[in-house]
A and B are shown apart, each in its own frame.
Chain A
Amino acid sequence: MSHDTRFGLGRTISLAGPLALDSGASLAPVEIAYETYGALDADGGNAILICHALTGDQHVASPHPITGKPGWWTRMVGPGKPIDPDRHFIVCANVLGSCMGSSGPASLAADGAPYAMRFPVITIRDMVRAQAMLLDHLGVGALRAVVGGSMGGMQALSWAATYPSRVRAAVVIASTARHTAQNIAFHEVGRQAIMADPRWLGGDYYAGGEPPSAGLAVARMAAHITYLSEAGLTEKFGRRLQARDAKSFGFDADFQVESYLRHQGISFVDRFDANSYLYITRAMDYFDLAEEHGGLLANGFRATATRFCLVSFDTDWLYPTAESRSIVKALNAAGAAASFVELSSPFGHDAFLLDCPELNRVVDGFLKAVA
């Protein structure tokens, strides 16, 4: 299928739409940047959709065009991996609202200027609807599986609830069916950091070429702490000082952990748009799958034939095991086929992106059994 320009790396498609959004607004056209790996079987039965997290992108297993780093999930996706282009047709799309080529606040509106804050507020389900439009374009009917960690897991759940007949299996890793007050609170800190940056200019910073990098960096620093565990931070940094023998009695990055966080913040702003950060964190905060189904999560999965596999990590305090368990409880109540395992890792929420042979074993076994 290499001759078909719909397939391959670095694709972008402009779909006419309109895409009706949860807010009541609609979006047209809808640009989606995506990549595909492997070949779609004649019967179309080997398609796997991978959904990325908040600051992720479509480059799941190919180098990032800005940073040059390998794809963000090469531990899970690639030859010989649980999700394997030799066996699967793999699709990964940049989510709606993001900044890697899909429609977002940095995209140009009909008047030729960037949308900025005129971009409609979107939801996780809107992201999923946009992905469904992409799959229609690619000729993919039902997915063998939709797979995602963190916000990707929210999309996987939303996929199963929104298009049950199109999802044979869902893999939901280190995720949740709703944002808690604490989750929303951390996101609000990040958004306020961006909006407090004088360069933010109410979101209209695109023309000047001086984005609110300081605010976005602080937002990233605050969020990054929630991706790690206390034990992981202690192991990595402890109270060790950064390239100095004694405290400076000043406000330089005396501690290694400060230096590390500053680096995380500074390197993030090179690859991410501040307004996209506002829109996507909003979509995550609005996510409450039970609320979409009369307040009862199980109602989202009644009579579903989708098989579910949920994985949590014992040191993840952003989306702790209890959140996965409450999803499992709802799936049980709905009579859905559900598997769940809590894996042990010192790395907190980020564990799903790191080397974790047990995770690969579970996902591999689960996907092979879906066939």
Chain B
Amino acid sequence: MSLRPDLALIAAHVAPGARVLDIGCGDGALLAALRDDRGVDARGLELDAANVAAAVARGLSVIQGDADRDLADFPDGSFDYAILSQTLQTTRAPHLVLDQLLRIGARAFVSFPNFAHWRVRVALLTQGRMPVTRLLPERWYDTPNIHHVTIDDFRDLMRARGVAVERAWFLSGDQQRGATAANLLAEHAVFLLKRD
């Protein structure tokens, strides 16, 4: 089974043998790949009970919980990497969740759909409606994405909170692309953050 493109990117940049916490780990696809391919000590946090059951059945250690509420239960510096993929925009307090990531992990991978992608901008400009796109398929009232964010917004927040961006990757149409005009042209971004 092949990983989602942003997850494949993250998987390729996790150091072998590292301790990893995947927040919003779904059915554990990334964690299982990290464990099997890279010998990673893989742990997960996941909201949905059926997903937790599926991940546990893969032999993973996964705790049912919520990024906003339950990250506080993990000790300081207990992981080499905390991973938050496609989940930041669903949290109630993204800035506090990011603080937790970098409290728990020495580094953090964060991936999110870019709300400033040109298709989103065009939809809002021409139709005057909240955009429904491939990566943001829900309507405004039933979307779990309650804190839309752009690449530039995210960089600003990292600067304001004194978080170092070690690397960033940008995706559109599931292909990696350059950093030039990423805020306009990238559908999706992956950041590697480091505690200062």
Contacts and interface: CB of A to CB of B under 8 A. Distances in A.
A339 B57 contact: no
Interface stretch (A27-35, A46-54, A186-194, A324-332): A324-332
Given A325-B73, A335-B78, A358-B53, A369 B63 contact: no
A332 B78 contact: yes
Interface string B53-97: 111111111111100001001110010000000000000000000
A19 interface: no
B151 interface: no
A344 B56 CA distance: 17
Given A307-B61, A341-B49, A343-B49, A362 B56 contact: yes
Nearest to B50: A358
Contacts of A361: 53, 57
A365 B57 contact: yes
Interface of B: 43, 49-50, 52-65, 70, 73-75, 78
Contact of A369 (B53, B59, B70): B59
B125 to A, nearest CB: 44
A364 B50 CA distance: 14
A338 B63 contact: yes
A366 B73 CA distance: 22
Given A309-B56, A361-B57, A365-B58, 4 more contacts: A332-B74, A337-B43, A340-B65, A341-B53
B75 A339 contact: no
A332 B56 contact: no
B56 A365 contact: yes
Contacts of A3: none
Nearest to A330: B73
Contacts of B59: 365, 368-370
A339 B52 contact: yes
A342 B63 CA distance: 9
B73 A364 contact: no
Nearest to B74: A332
Given A341-B56, A344-B49, A365-B57, A332 B64 contact: no
A333 interface: yes
A342 to B, nearest CB: 6
Contacts of B50: 358
17 contacts: A335-B78, A338-B61, A339-B56, A339-B62, A340-B62, A340-B63, A340-B65, A341-B49, A341-B52, A343-B49, A361-B57, A365-B56, A366-B57, A368-B59, A369-B57, A369-B60, A370-B59
Contacts of A325: 65, 70, 73
Contacts of B43: 337
Q: Which 10 A-B pairs have the closest CB atoms?
A: A365-B57, A369-B59, A329-B73, A337-B61, A341-B52, A340-B63, A341-B64, A339-B56, A362-B53, A365-B56
A29 to B, nearest CB: 41
Interface residues of A, number: 25
Contacts of A309: 56
A364 B58 CA distance: 11
A321 to B, nearest CB: 9
A339 B60 contact: yes
Contacts of B75: 332-333
A248 B55 CA distance: 55
Contacts of A328: 63, 73
Contacts of A335: 78
B36 to A, nearest CB: 13
Contacts of B53: 341, 358, 361-362, 365
Nearest to B54: A365
A362 to B, nearest CB: 5
Contacts of A366: 56-57
A333 B75 CA distance: 6
A328 B45 CA distance: 12
B63 A339 contact: yes
Contacts of A368: 57, 59
A340 B55 CA distance: 11
